[in-house]
Structure 1
Amino acid sequence: MLKLSVLDQSPLLHNETPQNALQQTLTLAQHADELGYTRYWMSEHHSTVILAGSAPEMMVPIIAAHTKQIRVGTGGVLLPHYSPFKVAEQFRVLEAMYPNRIDLGIGRAPGGQPGVYYALNRGKYPDTANYSTDAGHLIDYILGHDPQGYQVQATPMSPTTPPVWMLGSSGSSAQTAGELGTSYTFAQFINPDDGREAVQRYYDHFIPSPLQEDPYASVAVFVVVGDTDEEAEYYASSLDVALLMADQGQRRGHFPDPEEASQQSFTHFEQKRIVENRGRMIVGSVESVKQQLIDLAAHYQVNEIMVNSIVAPFEKRLEAYEKLAGAFQLS
């Protein structure tokens, strides 16, 4: 059976505030927990007013404390900004508090405009070329080792260890995940191209590690589901416009209202870009989306898909996850 999970960016929907967006993240996580989703991840974005999720490591303990069984994690911590030792400590604490429920997802992206790199690194540009080394050190620290010989240990060392996931939208990140023996998630909601090749590259380069014996991959994608294809297209128009605006460098304080977005006209080149962005999305009726997700999982050769559904109003987001849970008979 195909597993479904949630990737949440804490979007600011039409006429909502950042406080609303974060509260909605908690509400949606509780909803996903009750519906039987496998895991709930929160993303890391900086200086992005349309998304409230700037510190997922702060949200993980809040979500874990207010849910019962769903795995909770980061999608993901952007490692070039941080000390591998400190990240290991944070997640060892979380694992001690919520054993066997925490996922440590990491990534290499800046998480915002170029200035974010400098703001997070005291005016310096981090050496992203050392990402695989830093990720290796993080894994060693979280396993209780001292990879840099500083005579330190990431504590507390509880009986269980959180799994490490590497998130990426390219073949290089996939290969790194394989060589380090972590799990891997391809971000199709960011890059609609070459995902199948990236996942295969992960499988081809996987080396068993103390974290896991076998490779495990998933794919994250935008999903808009409605009672009919027409209703889904109506709600997807909001995401169409938001992605187009981001491509054009426009800043907006919230996602467009679908009533407004569905009536908007576009130039030939804008329409072409919208069509290209649809490669990042799955849109349609419940049965159509179910089959598209099954086909997507088969294409990637994975058995888990992370659903990122951004529709307004918030009640429609809740309904979208309800419909998918019903279609896949999640327990």
Structure 2
Amino acid sequence: MTHSILVPLSVLDLAPVVEGGTPGDAFRNTLELAQLAERSGYNRYWLAEHHNMAGIASSATSVVIGYVAGGTKRIRVGSGGIMLPNHAPLVIAEQFGTLESMFPGRIDLGLGRAPGSDQTTARALRRDLATHGQDFPELLAELRAFFHPPADAVRPVRATPGEGLNIPIWLLGSSGFSAKLAGELGLPFSFASHFAPEYLMPAIHLYRSNFRPSDALAKPYVMIGINIVAADTDEEARWLATSQQQQFLSLIRGNPGKLKPPVDDMDELWLPHEREALQSKFKYAIAGSKATIAARLQEIRSETMADELIVTSQIYDHAARLRSYEILAEAAGLGGSSAS
């Protein structure tokens, strides 16, 4: 029997470029996955800004959001997230104002303060590296003012499109900084527990304890990121999940690349201390069959009382990735239909 987890389930897509594949392949796969997510009952479909990473194709995030929104009909589409310090707030206001004008009521703007890249790439993005994201609250205030200027403000520069549009703004984080800020501003908060699980519970507490109701949100709303690989058997799922494990291993070794095929034995690739480090990062990762997924989802929901879960699945084979999200939808009782 399938039991609903009673909270919305969403997709975080890193638009993976696999070994032997191209960014063009990644975008076509992204659209096909988004269409499946819409049919299956997922709530939103987010894409993330990363730069100088051969295995992630969504660097021009707003462009990919437009591509996905244009190929779907109902599902919310947005950023998970836009790294605001990389951009002039006016540019983001105009980009997302454009997206919201094209696809009314379907666009989310999730914002982070990390560079989404290494320091050399950050310089190429024309960032002021001296702030380390500490100016994020000021950039956020400037961006929000472009959407909703104070009534008495004289605005020599206006966001067109953008001004007057109600685009939900989310703060994203992997530490306490954005959790506290999101609470103070009364904004929804999404935590990156798919790569920073050790800070999840402290960040949720910080967000909820600092929450102040706002025009945007009457009570706290928390979404958490989870790595999930689902398959018809636990054994197959664990095998498929080795692609993601290899990706994390490459990151901690400072050598990121394209997503690799699964392997039979990770112990042949990682050293004992690397295995230990990576296993700590996968506290909220699930690899298994529908029954395994359903049971663990219930545990995570009970532990965190999250209002929504957003799932990322770095799976090498595209057909297996589609199947993973189908199984997950069944495990969570989303009630969608896999029919076209």
Which band: TM-score by shorter chain?
over 0.9
The equivalent position to 1:49 in structure 2, one of 47, 51, 54, is 54
Which residue in the other structure is 2:70 paired with?
A: 65
The higher relative CO (CA closer than 8 Å, separation ≥ 6) is in 2
TM (norm. structure 1) is 0.93
Which residue in the other structure is 2:106 paired with?
A: 101
Give, in whole Å, the separation in 1 of the partners of 2:151 and 2:239. 53
Give, in whole Å, the separation in 2 of the partners of 1:265 and 1:12. 21
Which residue in the other structure is 2:3 paired with?
A: none
Which residue in the other structure is 2:318 paired with?
A: 314
Change (3 A) 1:263 1:190: closer
Q: Report the CA distance between 1:115 and its aligned residue.
A: 1.1
Give, in whole Å, the separation in 2 of the partners of 1:20 and 1:223. 22
Which residue in the other structure is 2:271 paired with?
A: 267
Give, in whole Å, the separation in 1 of the partners of 2:41 and 2:130. 39
Superposition pairs for residues 20-31 of structure 1, below 5 Å? 20-31=25-36
Q: Report the CA distance between 1:279 and its aligned residue.
A: 2.1
Change (3 A) 1:147 1:181: farther
Range that drifts further, 264-273 or 221-230: 264-273
The equivalent position to 1:237 in structure 2, one of 231, 242, 247, is 242
Which residue in the other structure is 2:159 paired with?
A: 154
Structure 1 residue runs of 5 or longer lacking an equivalent are none
Range that drifts further, 302-311 or 8-17: 8-17
User: What is the alpha-carbon root mean square deviation over aligned residues?
Assistant: 2.1
Range that drifts further, 271-280 or 282-291: 271-280
* Conserved? CA contact 2:147–2:165, under 8 Å: no
* Conserved? CA contact 2:186–2:211, under 8 Å: yes
C-alpha offsets along residues 25-68 of structure 1, whole Å, 9 cap, x if unaligned? 11111111111100000000000111111011111111111101
Please state whether the residue corresponding to 1:224 is helix, strand or coil.
strand
Q: Report the CA distance between 1:270 and its aligned residue.
A: 2.6
Please state whether the residue corresponding to 1:54 is helix, strand or coil.
coil
Percent identity between the aligned chains?
35
Change (3 A) 1:290 1:23: same
Which residue in the other structure is 1:210 paired with?
A: 215
**Residue correspondences, number:** 329
The equivalent position to 1:169 in structure 2, one of 174, 178, 181, is 174
* Conserved? CA contact 2:195–2:282, under 8 Å: no
Structure 2 residue runs of 5 or longer lacking an equivalent are 1-5
Please state whether the residue corresponding to 1:182 is helix, strand or coil.
coil
Range that drifts further, 153-162 or 30-39: 153-162
Give, in whole Å, the separation in 2 of the partners of 1:105 and 1:328. 24
Answering whether residue 295 of structure 2 is matched by residue 299 of structure 1, we say no
Superposition pairs for residues 108-147 of structure 1, below 5 Å? 108-121=113-126, 124-125=128-129, 127=131, 128-145=133-150
